Structure 1
Amino acid sequence: MGGAAVLAVLLAGCGSARGTAHSAMPGMGGGTASARGASSVSAPTASSGMPTTAGMPGMPGMAAGPPGDGLADTRDGYRLVAAAATLPAGVATRYRFDITAPDGMPVTDFAVDQTRKLHFYAVRSDLSGFQHVHPVMAQDGGWTAALGALTPGRWRLYATFSPASGPGAGRDFVLSRLVTVPGRAVAVPLPAAAPAVGADGYTVTVSGDPGGGAVRPLTVRFTRAGEAVSGLEPYLGAYAHLTAIHAGDMAFAHVHPVAAAGASHGGPELAFHSTLRESGDWRLFLQFQVRGALHVAAVTLHIT
């Protein structure tokens, strides 16, 4: 792939959770990222252009434009509403919220994206903490997200969804709110660049040219002890789930799989569509499942 940047990323094992919690980086109280050996290298800047993602497998069409960077609680009249401005440290907690439509009423009709009606993420401001959970919606439209233990500091909570009806039908939205977790907050530096890092016998190689703001292909290759890994199991309708957060302002980019999971196992290579609009450092969180265990890999990618 011309102009490709190749990265090796550290795989940190994370047992799959039951219920609503689907991912928490290991080693940080069940809810934060601690894969500090992940690598980053510079990727060349691609030509500018607006993404065209309508019709991509595994995601709703976006006829009215991209979903936004997720840095606000309101977009085109849709709002993420929550009362809590703080969450407790060191213990599992529940975060309750609503998604309201332009008329102010709770949205109850959502399209399914990667097997879920709504995806919810908790990310620490220094990108050292990451959780991806799937809340439960009540009949009145209220949502409850079960979060693992959070460390003290500032966290941004993202909700990604697509209304199935109403003025936003068929569009993807990313909305977020900030919360504070009280206590002594210790900032964790973003990992430095490294050509290759491995752990638990796994190596994942990510290649592509994701910068420039246009939809670009991104390829992930899985190996173990130098041998190709083809035992990836379906997770959220695909063989891996990839989320990117910008280190400068915490802009959100959901990287979508090109193809859905089939009846058999996947790998050793997976293809994604990526759209990283801003230059600078991005933290990529890759989730995949092997033999019933959910793993999370984190990598810092620098876009010039």
Structure 2
Amino acid sequence: MNTALKVAVFASGLALAFGAAYGVGHAVGRTPTPAAGHAHDTAGHAAQDEHAGHDDHPVGGLQVSDRGYTLSLDRTIVPAAGPTGLSFRVLAPDGRPLTAYKPAHEKELHLIVASRDLTSFQHLHPVRAADGTWTVPADIAKAGDYRLFADFVPAAETESLTLGADLHATGDYRPATLPQTGRSVTVDGYTVTLTGDLAAGKAGRLAFAVSKDGRPVDDLDPYLAAYGHLVVLRAGDLGYLHVHPDGEPGDGVTEPGPEVDFTATAPSAGDYRLFLDFQHAGTVHTAAFTLTAGAGAGADNAPTPAPTEPAHHH
């Protein structure tokens, strides 16, 4: 082989070697594109940051993990047998059970248990063990699908989190249609009358007046540092709103009834279930309403998910 040919072959070999190394280097060094919907999706976080502080009542409970925290149930399938022990942990971003919380409304964690057809609702306060395990008895009397909402503030955070997870109760499941109510409901001998409406993207006043035997109840008990607590769930996907009342006991302005006022914003048009907890004479009562939110200023143009039958039938 002559000298010129040897040089050409040697140069070709170098070009191939450098080309391969370049390709491998790019394959190894390339930052993978985050998968759509990933908990740590940077675009999603940018969108959240952009809208932070612009929505007083953001929807929660649609994710089992958020901001690195995960709701982990010990059992996701239970018998429909009435009183049932539930246990779970909140896993911190390092994967360990979270043990440090900031109390919110006198409790470290509020647990909401609601059936997917929105006919059953419980507001519970579990007990936490030193290892971070929460336990609480719940009344799971009817077969079907339930959603658990853990509402809490980690000690390392400044804002609350609401994580959601599904629970399935075995048995003969007969889903119900969304309950329809008027503006007044009666529970445990108390009549609660609602004034005000929900509007998508627009803050509105909701006022609940409590009476008993035709007389206004003007001596409501303080319950969890308030005269009432309101949980709003969107029909279809059970998007969660925990709305706190206007004013609080002892502020010199807020009266202990008969009316408890809230300011709420619906994230989209559609049907919602409203669950009001109030306490009188040492006993907590829950009044449930169904409202349809109309389109308002700043409303989400996306249609509200239509109610569907739960996916798991046991």
User: How many Å apart are 1:293 and its aligned residue?
Assistant: 2.0
CA deviation vs aligned residue, 1:50-101 (integer Å, no higher than 9, x gap): 7454xxxxxxxxxxxx664211100121110123120121231211111112
In the alignment, what sits opposite 1:100? 91
Q: 2:171 aligns with which of 167, 183, 187?
A: 183
Within 5 Å, give how 1:44-193 maps onto structure 2. Answer: 51-53=54-56, 68-165=59-156, 169-193=157-181
Q: Does 1:285 align with 2:279?
A: no
User: How many Å apart are 1:294 and its aligned residue?
Assistant: 1.6
Aligned AA for 2:175? A
- Scaled by the length of structure 2, the TM-score of the pair is 0.70
Moved beyond 6 Å, runs of 4+: none
Residues in 2 aligned to 1:92 and 1:198: alpha-carbon distance in whole angstroms: 25
Residues in 1 aligned to 2:159 and 2:208: alpha-carbon distance in whole angstroms: 27
Residues in 2 aligned to 1:97 and 1:200: alpha-carbon distance in whole angstroms: 31
User: How many Å apart are 1:302 and its aligned residue?
Assistant: 0.7
Percent of aligned pairs sharing the same letter: 37
Q: Does 1:220 align with 2:208?
A: yes
User: How many Å apart are 1:107 and its aligned residue?
Assistant: 1.5
CA deviation vs aligned residue, 1:204-227 (integer Å, no higher than 9, x gap): 222234322354432222233443
Bigger relative contact order, structure 1 or 2, given CA contacts below 8 A and separation 6+? 1
User: How many Å apart are 1:176 and its aligned residue?
Assistant: 0.9
Secondary structure of 1:234's partner?
coil
Q: After alignment, is 293-302 or 222-231 more displaced?
A: 222-231
Q: Does 1:302 align with 2:272?
A: no
Kindly tell me: are residues 230 and 51 of structure 1, through their superposed partners in 2, closer, same or farther at Cα, counting changes over 3 Å? farther
Secondary structure of 1:92's partner?
strand
Residues in 1 aligned to 2:246 and 2:58: alpha-carbon distance in whole angstroms: 18
- Scaled by the length of structure 1, the TM-score of the pair is 0.72
Residues 50 and 214 in structure 1, CA contact (< 8 A), matched pair in contact too: no
Residues in 2 aligned to 1:220 and 1:51: alpha-carbon distance in whole angstroms: 26
- From the CA coordinates, give the structure whose radius of gyration is larger: 2
Long gaps (5+) in structure 1: 1-48, 54-65
Aligned AA for 2:211? T
Residues in 2 aligned to 1:200 and 1:179: alpha-carbon distance in whole angstroms: 28
In the alignment, what sits opposite 2:17? none
In the alignment, what sits opposite 2:245? 257
Aligned AA for 1:74? S
Q: 1:230 aligns with which of 218, 226, 236?
A: 218
In the alignment, what sits opposite 2:6? none
Aligned AA for 1:126? D
CA deviation vs aligned residue, 1:30-57 (integer Å, no higher than 9, x gap): xxxxxxxxxxxxxxxxxxx97454xxxx
Number of aligned residue pairs: 241
